Amino acid sequence: MTPVEIENIFRSEAGRALATLIRLVGDFDLAEDVLQDTFAAALERGEVPSNPRAWLVTTGRNKAIDRIRRETAFRTRQDQIVHETKSRNTDATGGIGPAEDAMDDDALRLIFTCCHPAFAIETQVALTLRTICGLTTGQVARAFLASEDAMAQRLTRAKQKIRLAGIPYEVPQHDALNARLHGVLAVVYLVFNEGYAATAGETLMRPDLAGEAIRLCRLLDVLIPARSEIRGLLALMLLHDARRTSRETAEGDIVLLEHQDRALWNRVQIAEGLALVQQALSEPGRPNSYAVQAAIAALHARAPSFSETDWPQIAGLYEVLVRIAPSPVVALNHAAAISMVDGPAKALALVDTLAACGELDGYDLLPAVRADLLRRLKRDGEARAAYRQALESTSLEPLRRFYLRRLSELS
């Protein structure tokens, strides 16, 4: 096996192996260390056995026992680990690792621990990327545009809090599950959004982050099956991500939906997304906001061209969203959809009302939407002023270039 092949196997299995190791050795840091050692050992051997997850757990556990043995003070814990793993060794993988079911539970436990509300949301995202997605501290730091030192410190403090504040390593029960799952999905969606359109930096997209979010959501869908919120979010991300290659030029400039080459859209991914939207919307009860957003993305994905898009239905779905998950950003998107149905003048009135509330102050897409409506109304002077305002509010280079391009077209 090539090192790249081994790394790919490791990346796809590490999160779940880590989850089980944490339970077995009872210590985040020790589990991470031995898993890293196991990866290094695999690279040295040049191969990974056919059941990599069980092998990672078994080898990691043995390494942990070795380490603890060297520190005799921890004798009791060593007995505990040996005892725990012995009692779980009866399984389908030939008795060498813990059972699949137990590992599924562990993976969920780890997700809920990383996305615990006792952490700030940025910390939840960072912990998730580091421990579940298996990104290095340096890679997590880059996702946040933070220094590696600062990120390492944040992660250390978070793991300290798990231990010292007694954050439980378990899946919340009954009533608590819904509220906590909501928080977990918010983290997944944040990771995706950063990959779909970065907050700042040189490049519009971070496909690695978008990919991680999709992978994580797929895992959640396996672990907690038939949840319309999970399926809705997965559908939403697949449909957005399907347009990836058409969203920027080779030079990294933004291509608007209007001008995207629809032949570049990933049809396989769209088909999967459409099927999931169907499932998510057919669940009984009130539709959740992810499913409705996915339904909007589905209408875009199915439209043969920009002009043939079903704008009235899209505007209608945004009205549903405004009702079930009201937020200023949703209201802004609703206004943009209205501009395609009732024209830019009507939409501008909505946007101006929204701007007057002040809730979106500093959000560059507010002046950007305004600018676009003014441009379409041929009010060039006001459009220029709005584009300049958008330009000042963004830290993303491709967006800056886009606003500058619009400004030069208007002068």
Partner 1 sequence: MQYLLLIYQNEVNDAKRTEAEANARSAEYGVFTQSIIQSGNFKAGDRLQPTSMATTVRVRDGKTLTTDGPFAETHEQLGGYYLIEAKDLDTALAIAARMPGAKYGSIEVRPIWVYNK
Query: From the CB of 121, what's the least distance to partner 1, in Å?
Result: 9
Query: From the CB of 154, what's the least distance to partner 1, in Å?
Result: 10
Residue closer to partner 1 (CB basis): 165 or 263: 165
Closest by Cα among 371, 334, 375 to 354: 334
Closest by Cα among 186, 244, 183 to 211: 244
Residue closer to partner 1 (CB basis): 177 or 349: 177
Residue closer to partner 1 (CB basis): 169 or 265: 169
Query: From the CB of 407, what's the least distance to partner 1, in Å?
Result: 41
Contact 252, 201 (CB under 8 A): no
The reply on whether position 76 binds partner 1 by CB under 8 A is no
Residue closer to partner 1 (CB basis): 127 or 234: 127
Whole-number Å distance between alpha carbons of 177 and 182: 8
Structure tokens at 100: 């699949």
User: H or E element: which one contains 201?
Assistant: strand 200-201
Query: From the CB of 192, what's the least distance to partner 1, in Å?
Result: 23
Query: From the CB of 170, what's the least distance to partner 1, in Å?
Result: 8
Residue closer to partner 1 (CB basis): 160 or 395: 160
Closest by Cα among 211, 180, 184, 181 to 195: 211
Paired sense of beta strands 395-396 and 200-201, if any: parallel
Task: Compute CA distances 387 → 185, 188, 358, 366, 403, whole Å.
Answer: 33, 31, 18, 10, 6
Contact 221, 236 (CB under 8 A): no
State which of positions 151-210 bind partner 1 (CB under 8 A): 157, 160-161, 164-168, 172, 176
Q: Where are the alpha helices (DSSP H) in 206-327?
A: 207-223, 228-241, 267-282, 289-302, 311-324
Query: From the CB of 179, what's the least distance to partner 1, in Å?
Result: 8
Residue closer to partner 1 (CB basis): 119 or 189: 119
Whole-number Å distance between alpha carbons of 146 and 142: 6
x-or-dash pattern for partner 1, window 114-133, by CB under 8 A? --xxxxx--x----------
**Three-state SS annotation for 151-175:** HHHHHHHHHHHHHHCCCCCCCCCHH
Residue closer to partner 1 (CB basis): 124 or 228: 124
Report which residue type is found at 90: T
Query: From the CB of 172, what's the least distance to partner 1, in Å?
Result: 7
Cα-only R_g, the chain: 24
Residue closer to partner 1 (CB basis): 120 or 329: 120
Residue closer to partner 1 (CB basis): 176 or 226: 176
Query: From the CB of 327, what's the least distance to partner 1, in Å?
Result: 16
Only segment of 37-45, 112-120, 288-296, 399-407 that touches partner 1 (CB under 8 A)? 112-120
Whole-number Å distance between alpha carbons of 302 and 394: 31
Kindly determine how many residues on this chain lie close enough to bind partner 1 according to the rule CB under 8 A: 16
Contact 218, 15 (CB under 8 A): no
Query: From the CB of 176, what's the least distance to partner 1, in Å?
Result: 8
Contact 61, 21 (CB under 8 A): yes
x-or-dash pattern for partner 1, window 243-272, by CB under 8 A? ------------------------------
Whole-number Å distance between alpha carbons of 265 and 243: 5
Binding site for partner 1 (CB under 8 A): 116-120, 123, 157, 160-161, 164-168, 172, 176
